[in-house]
Amino acid sequence: MRILFVGDVVGRSGRDAIVEHLPKAIADWNIELAIVNGENAAGGFGITEAIYNDFLDAGADAVTLGNHSWNQKEALVFIERAPRLIRPINYMPGTPGRGAALIDTKRGRRALVINALGRLFMEPVDDPFAMIDREIEACPLRSGADAIVVDFHCEATSEKQGAGHFCDGRASLVVGTHTHIPTSDHQILPGGTAYMTDAGMTGDYDSIIGMNKEEPLRRFTTGIPSARFEPATGEATMSGIAVETDDATGLAIRVAPVRVGGRLERAVPTFWAKQTADA
């Protein structure tokens, strides 16, 4: 199975990048499962139903969230009628929506998608490891799902690495989100799970983690907030990770970073040579 995971979409420039680049990537690389983290898509904070539907129209099979899941209050309501919108699994009991979902891929196979929040330097939430373990045990690779993808939304790189090794051999991909900077440690772990500490953001990199530079710099240099953060509006880079799995095991056999458009150096999965020649 060919999987594309796209990192945190920030504001309008990030949304424009999804519309421009995601359908082409899916077609050129023959992607069966496309997942987009959309928790910063609406003005940099949260997601709306219209944006969620735009991502599905662009080819996303699932949309994951994070610590800004509820910044747009409509999400508390529409998430119940959005079966492919997945919020962190370790929110408190009674939180609307779902933290894991079994998704039909573009070829009719089944993929378990799990979203979880880390706890280091984050707001208090339930134990992500126990909840991820519960879902994987209930729907394991091969017998329950053809692929399993874990979006671990977390501040600390160590906790993300911990999640990768915790799931190694049991998931197709564990990928970190939240810090908005793509890491260069994409790899296949010893047990066969593809891993990347952070997929990076889909946003304007002439910014401070996707936001116009002026207000963050003002706060760094004076300690005084004077305005709200606003997303940068320059051309965005679509950042993420591409994974190919073994159909027999559901584990990864190839992995590569993805960076298309915008300011960052281009990176595409060259092992899909025929599909990337014109991408």
Superfamily in which the 2-276 domain is placed by CATH: Metallo-dependent phosphatases (3.60.21.10)
State yes or no: is 68 an active-site residue.
Answer: yes
Q: Cβ(75)–Cβ(84) under 8 Å? A: no
Domain residue ranges of the chain, discontinuous segments joined by +: 2-276
Structural contact between residues 17 and 49, judged by C-beta atoms closer than 8 angstroms: no
What average pLDDT does range 178-191 have in this prediction?
Answer: 98
pLDDT digits (tens, 9 = 90+) for 132-177: 999 999 999 999 999 999 999 999 999 999 999 999 999 999 999 9
- Residue 274: pLDDT band with limits 50, 70, 90: low
Burial 85-94 (b: 16+ CB within 10 A, else e): bbbbbbbeee
Mean pLDDT, residues 232-239: 97
Classify strands 187-188 and 173-177 as parallel, antiparallel or unpaired.
unpaired
* % residues pLDDT > 90 (the chain): 97
DSSP 126-171: --HHHHHHHHHHHS-BTTTBSEEEEEEE-S-HHHHHHHHHHHTTT-
pLDDT bracket for residue 278 (50, 70, 90): very low
Question: Average pLDDT of 171-198?
Answer: 98
Residue 279 pLDDT class (50, 70, 90 cuts): very low
pLDDT given for residue 273 in this prediction: 64
**Per annotation, catalytic residue among 68, 178, 180, 186:** 68
Q: What is the pLDDT of residue 141?
A: 98
Question: Could you report the per-residue pLDDT of 7-55, keeping only the tens digit for each?
Answer: 999 999 999 999 999 999 999 999 999 999 999 999 999 999 999 999 9
| Cα–Cα dist 243/191, whole Å | 15
Q: How far apart are CA 238 and CA 15, in angstroms?
A: 9
Asked whether 252 and 244 are in contact (CB, 8 A), the reply is yes
Helix (H, G, I), strand (E, B) or coil at 210: coil
Cα 257 from Cα 240, distance rounded (Å): 6
Instruction: Report how far apart the first and last C-alpha atoms of the chain are (Å, whole number).
Output: 19
Residue-level pLDDT at 200: 98
